Structure 1
Amino acid sequence: MYPKEFEKSIKKVEATREERMKGLPERMSAKEREEILQKWHPDYKPEAKRKLKIGASKGSFVPVEVADLIEAYPLEDPKEIDMSKPDYSVDVLIIGGGGAGTAAALHAYYSGIKKDKILMVTKLRHGDANTIMAQGGIQAADKENDSPAIHYLDVIGGGHYANKPDLVERLVMDAPRIIKWHEELGVMYDKKEDGEMITIHGGGTSRKRMHSAKDYTGMEIMRVIRDE
């Protein structure tokens, strides 16, 4: 079942399980955690990232695999594409058919753009995207003991101050409205018997603001907005 190189580690886990079950392991210090990450985590290894040579993010350090993908030559030869004869003429072109792309298409339609003037393109089927893989939930500061300002601080701190402030602001301000929109469409978020939404802690949260649908939140959101 497991690769042969795992056998040594498995035996060690099995041999020490009874002793480890007697109590919690001693917490590592911040320095010890950093040393472990530097030694083992792929994101911390210098050779795992390199600078992008092209594009809007030129100069940014990204995983080597991502850089190779972005810098790769296109499968289509630009010389063979006749831009004077488009296959489709639309007002809105949406790249991607996941949660964001589908929501963009819906809001374009809500704004008055005709359906036949909105085109969504995706490399797979509509809905086959990262959204359906999301399990934990979606955060929104919509409870009395919470606020977008507190949510903002959590996100900025959790991102080690590397976030783009304007995007974080948009995220935390829009989140309660998006949850309300989802509910109006029929997304079945977990609720108490009285109808109040259940919220739980997520990574880096100082308030319980994670809204979830069991452990298939993304799939539930995608189910509803795709049908819409």
Structure 2
Amino acid sequence: MRPAPPELTGRVVIIGSGIAGLVTALALAPKPVVLVTQGRLGQGGSTVLAQGGIAAAIGPDDSPALHLADTLSAGDGLCNSAIAETILRQAGEAIAYLESHGTRFDRDASGAPVLGLEAAHGRRRILHAAGDGSGAEIVRALVAAVRSCASVAILEDTSACRLLTRDGMVAGLLLQRDGAGMILPTGQVVMATGGIGGLYDATTNPVDNRGQGIMLAARAGAALADMEFVQFHPTALAVARGRLPLISEAVRGEGAILINDCGERFLTGHPGEELAPRDIVARAIHAEMISGRQVFLKADDIDFPTRFPAITALCREAGIDPAREPIPVRPAQHYHMGGIHTDIFGRSTLPGLWAIGECAATGLHGANRLASNSLLEAAVMGLNAARDIAAGPGSHPAIPAMPDLPPEADPGQVRAITSRHLGILRDGASLHAAIAGLLPLALGRGGASDPAITALAIAVFAALRQESRGAHARTDFPAQAIHSVSRRMTLDQIIQSARLILSDNLARSA
């Protein structure tokens, strides 16, 4: 164990180098910051994989009010409408900020932005870059800007292992770099660690994203919110690999249709058809699959190589020509609406900790994220958190105690439980089985403990929500409850709830 270099002590520390972390680092300049990333800067996260783009109500027939209405509808009654309205009204500012740092969005011959349509949007409002290479373009531009920003110190190939506290406030971080532990004293940490895809067998996200930021915050005492709401993208490319390539919703926005292996268009007559909200389309595809059918996207009416060059390349790697043959698809874990509970500035319930991007729960998404609102939220909240931190008193932490490095995370046991019991359809018996399997792992000292904490939170929140709403579908509670609210809990409360759920289940079965 060693202390961090003195020149890094007391700086704002940002964990994660997707769009949220990169925007925050730039927006804090010239305030000195440390940006910690477990891989290479901008790589290894979900932003660089994003195909569809970023939602912004900037078209002549659009408005933030219309965007808000679509967001609230997709969120199925659980969005924080005030926060959602604030974030969506900042969309123009976020787009301008990205462009000012070199992002090149697609524009037509007149210079106007080319706006795409995605599911559950009532207007064309999706800005994209390089056709379907939006995330890669945003990361390219922001990484170049961060590398040239003198106020940002970058720690690549570095993992955050524990968030350290003193007197109920953030005091530092335990990092692992070059195989050794390092203590970095700081009173201001921004969590921008991304999602939970690595907790599932089938995901469109990097398999190393296992909800680490949520786990770090929960261990330190921060409240979590809406953990049960896990979004499954309807159309991942159905190939045999860990991370499944995404077939963007924008493909359906351009006219592609879903068919089964009998050639039947099974969403015909459903409101929205192929452009219904993601949870509805995912469950419809899941129903086809459990009945023994295969599902395909038929897109031969689209100039596929021109509009979707990156997806074309992904399909051809798998031996599929999307311009000539249907694309085999299946649902896969894609996004997590829950996470670290925050306000509009990204402040968590733990003083000194901010959370932004997918690891945070602002209330924008409610029970189901509207397509392409995630990159928007990450950029806006990065700007908001930076303003809040810059206006504050700064960090003068005492050097925290030197804990031991935890064992290397091993998600294998957790992934098996999560994939089996916390998927598209849930029921009480399955959720109780998940809790019974995850609780001893979370309380243990082995490599499964860290990923089990995040998975246990999902299972407990899901067991307590006895209704079907948005991305959370229970076969034993198929209807929506009359009164439904967002829930927040600390790790201690989650563990206590898990024990009560198991105790009650045991009593009922006796």
* TM tier, smaller: 0.5 to 0.7
- Would you say the 8 A contact 1:140–1:175 is kept in 2? yes
* Cα-Cα RMSD: 1.7
Deviations 1:22-41 (A, max 9, x none): xxxxxxxxxxxxxxxxxxxx
Question: 2:34 aligns to what SS in structure 1?
Answer: strand
Give the TM-score normalised by the residue count of structure 2: 0.27
* Alpha carbons of structure 1 residues 86 and 188: separation in structure 2 relative to 1, 3 Å: closer
- Would you say the 8 A contact 1:90–1:119 is kept in 2? no
1:126 counterpart = 2:41:
yes
Residue identity in the other structure for 2:17: G
| Cα distance, 1:130 vs structure 2 | 0.7
In the alignment, what sits opposite 2:201? none
In the alignment, what sits opposite 1:77? none
Decide which of 154, 159, 163 is 2:75's aligned counterpart.
Answer: 159
Deviations 1:62-105 (A, max 9, x none): xxxxxxxxxxxxxxxxxxx78xx555313311111111000000
Residue identity in the other structure for 1:100: A
- Would you say the 8 A contact 1:96–1:120 is kept in 2? yes
Alignment of 1:100-139 (within 5 A): 100-109=20-29, 112-113=30-31, 117-128=32-43, 129-139=45-55
Alignment of 1:1-228 (within 5 A): 87=5, 88-109=8-29, 112-113=30-31, 117-128=32-43, 129-213=45-129, 214-228=131-145
Instruction: Report the Cα distance in structure 1 between the residues aligned to 2:23 and 2:10, rounded to whole angstroms.
Output: 18
Give the TM-score normalised by the residue count of structure 1: 0.58
In the alignment, what sits opposite 1:64? none
Instruction: Report the Cα distance in structure 2 between the residues aligned to 1:226 and 1:161, rounded to whole angstroms.
Output: 37
Larger radius of gyration: 1
Percentage of matched positions with identical amino acids: 30
Question: 1:181 aligns to what SS in structure 2?
Answer: helix
Deviations 1:179-209 (A, max 9, x none): 1222233322111101011101122111110
Structure 1 residues not aligned, in runs of 5+: 1-80
Aligned residue pairs, count: 141
Residue identity in the other structure for 2:53: G
Instruction: Report the Cα distance in structure 2 between the residues aligned to 1:166 and 1:104, rounded to whole angstroms.
Output: 22
Instruction: Report the Cα distance in structure 1 between the residues aligned to 2:27 and 2:58, rounded to whole angstroms.
Output: 22
Deviation larger for 160-169 or 135-144: 160-169
Question: 2:90 aligns to what SS in structure 1?
Answer: helix
Instruction: Report the Cα distance in structure 2 between the residues aligned to 1:95 and 1:167, rounded to whole angstroms.
Output: 24
Residue identity in the other structure for 2:38: K
* Alpha carbons of structure 1 residues 209 and 95: separation in structure 2 relative to 1, 3 Å: same
Instruction: Report the Cα distance in structure 1 between the residues aligned to 2:10 and 2:33, rounded to whole angstroms.
Output: 6
Instruction: Report the Cα distance in structure 2 between the residues aligned to 1:162 and 1:118, rounded to whole angstroms.
Output: 35
Instruction: Report the Cα distance in structure 2 between the residues aligned to 1:224 and 1:170, rounded to whole angstroms.
Output: 26
Structure 2 residues not aligned, in runs of 5+: 146-510
- Which stretches of structure 1, 4 residues or more, deviate above 3 A after TM superposition? 85-88
Question: 2:96 aligns to what SS in structure 1?
Answer: helix
- Would you say the 8 A contact 1:140–1:210 is kept in 2? yes
- Would you say the 8 A contact 1:148–1:173 is kept in 2? yes
Q: Which has the higher contact order (CA 8 A, sep 6+)?
A: 2
Instruction: Report the Cα distance in structure 2 between the residues aligned to 1:122 and 1:131, rounded to whole angstroms.
Output: 14
Higher helix share: 1
Deviation larger for 86-95 or 96-105: 86-95
Instruction: Report the Cα distance in structure 2 between the residues aligned to 1:196 and 1:142, rounded to whole angstroms.
Output: 10
